[in-house]
Amino acid sequence: GNSVTQMEGPVTLSEEAFLTINCTYTATGYPSLFWYVQYPGEGLQLLLKATKADDKGSNKGFEATYRKETTSFHLEKGSVQVSDSAVYFCALAANFGNEKLTFGTGTRLTIIP
C-alpha cells in the first residue's frame, strides 16, 4: 500500500538556521506530493506541492523537489524564523483522480530566537 515516512521530531533550531525535514514515500504509479503545515491550534494548510518527477514546489521560502529515483520529497528552508514553528506533514496522493491523501506522522519544528 501507499505510505509516507517522515523524519522523527521534535526538531529544534536557532533562528536563521538551515532546515531540512526528510520525507520518503512508497506508492504505485506517479503520485502527487505535498507538504502541509499546522500552526498551533489551527487546521492544516497546504505549504507546497509537486505533481510530477523533478518538479520543485516552493512557498514562503520553503522548497521541496520531487525525486522519483530516491522516492523523496525533502522540505528545506535556507533561514528559518520563529514564525516557522509548527508541525509539518508530508503527504501523497497516489494517482490523479484518486482524491485520498496519505499523510506522514508529522514533524514538530521549534525555532528559538
Partner 1 sequence: DAGITQSPRHKVTETGTPVTLRCHQTENHRYMYWYRQDPGHGLRLIHYSYGVKDTDKGEVSDGYSVSRSKTEDFLLTLESATSSQTSVYFCAISDPGSYNEQFFGPGTRLTVL
- 47 near 62, Cβ under 8 Å? yes
The residue from 28, 43, 70, 113 that contacts partner 1 (CB under 8 A) is 43
- 57 near 48, Cβ under 8 Å? yes
Task: Give the side-chain half-sphere CA count within 13 A for 70.
Answer: 10
- 71 near 65, Cβ under 8 Å? no
Residues contacting partner 1: total by CB under 8 A: 22
Q: Could you say whether residue 46 binds partner 1 (CB under 8 A)?
A: yes
- 34 near 101, Cβ under 8 Å? yes
> 4 forms bridges with which residues in the sheet?
25
Contacting partner 1 within 1-40 (CB under 8 A) = 32, 34, 36
Segment contacting partner 1 (CB under 8 A): 21-29, 46-54, 65-73, 75-83?
Answer: 46-54
The residue from 35, 104, 109, 111 that contacts partner 1 (CB under 8 A) is 104
Contacting partner 1 within 64-103 (CB under 8 A) = 89, 93, 96-101, 103
Amino acid 62 reads: F
Binding site for partner 1 (CB under 8 A): 32, 34, 36, 42-46, 49, 51, 89, 93, 96-101, 103-106
